[in-house]
Amino acid sequence: MVNIDKAVVAKLKKEEKVFEILVDCDKALELRKGKSVSMDDILATDEIYKDVKKGEKASEHDLLRIFNTNDSIKISKEIILNGEVQLTREHLAREREEKREEESLED
């Protein structure tokens, strides 16, 4: 599991409800790109929240109704693949540097 202090929020809005999880930014983005990454390496916790900052967990009823399961790993994977993953400053800086390098190679 990922250190909670280094985790970012990934969220998915479905049927007017928001579901949030805590993830490792880089590992979650690798999964989105189709790479094989263990969910243990991505998730900081196996909880599904309706509001991470307030510590409010999503209800079992909502999880079953909306995702047809209460399996936190399956739900987390869907949130990562179909939702939004917050980007860290480090990740954004790396992307900027890679873009600069590509542009300098084109010149």
Q: Which CATH superfamily is domain 4-106 in?
A: Ribosome maturation protein SBDS, N-terminal domain (3.30.1250.10)
The burial of 92, by beta-carbon neighbours within 10 Å (0-12 exposed, 13-18 middle, 19 or more buried), is given as exposed
Q: What is the pTM of this model?
A: 0.87
CA distance 14 to 27: 23
Domain residue limits, the chain = 4-106
Would you write out the chain's pLDDT as a tens digit for each of its 107 residues? 888 888 999 999 999 999 999 999 999 999 999 999 999 999 999 999 999 999 999 999 999 999 999 999 999 999 999 999 998 888 888 889 988 888 887 76
pLDDT tens for each residue of 2-24: 888 889 999 999 999 999 999 99
